Amino acid sequence: MKLIILDRDGVINHDSAQFVKTPDEWRPIPGALEAIARLTQAGYRVVIATNQSGIGRGLFDMAALNAINNKMVKAVTQAGGRIEAIFYCPDTAESSSRFRKPAPGMLVEIGERFNTSLENVPAVGDSLRDLQAADAVGAEPILVLSGKGAATRQAGGLPQRTRVFDDLAAVAQELVR
């Protein structure tokens, strides 16, 4: 099975310092929906792993998160792609949650749910914590320069095996040849 794990905000859609709190605030990054479609059509099972501390902070509720994710899934489907599952962690950075990236718990759950090793599975994110979680489970950390990615690269400290691409479209182009 070919699996790919994607962060949401900054990878698939534009991020916001004020959090994406409503479906109207969810806006796809140009080329991202088509990239997911390309990956899907090449046999990849696309899974989302996203920290959503806005829930823990009381900025939005589960109904809002579900509405945002439903908009994303519909947009991906209309582009010809498929999202197999969405894993999220509602905990704040102050929690000691084993599921909030950079902790690997969410990715471990993905491996268990799909009954597969995450060794060398591409895991795409725009923040250091995305890459650290990927590295912790043996997945291949991939940094995209969209979202916070450029600042993340400039800050340094990336896991040794990290590959860097402009955006999700460039990742898909590299993986699907």
| SS3 sequence of 116-143 | CCCCCCEEEECCHHHHHHHHHCCCEEEE
Q: Is domain 2-175 classified as CATH 3.50.4.10?
A: no
Q: Which of 7, 91, 135, 167 is catalytic?
A: 7
Domain boundaries of the chain, sorted by first residue: 2-175
Query: How many residues would you count in the chain?
Result: 177
> Has residue 35 got a pLDDT over 90?
yes
Known catalytic residue: 126?
Answer: no
Q: Label residue 1 by pLDDT band (50, 70, 90).
A: confident
Identify whether the C-beta of residue 144 lies closer than 8 Å to the C-beta of residue 127.
no
pLDDT bin (cut points 50, 70, 90) of residue 125 is very high
- What dihedral angle (degrees, nearest 10) is formed by the CA atoms of 24, 30, 33, 37? 170
> What pLDDT is stored for residue 177 in this prediction?
86
| Structure confidence by residue, pLDDT tens digits, 40-87 | 999 999 999 999 999 999 999 999 999 999 999 999 999 999 999 999
Chain-centroid distance of CA 76 in Å reads: 14
Q: Would residue 9 show up in a list of annotated catalytic residues for this protein?
A: yes
Contact 49/107 with Cβ under 8 angstroms?
A: yes
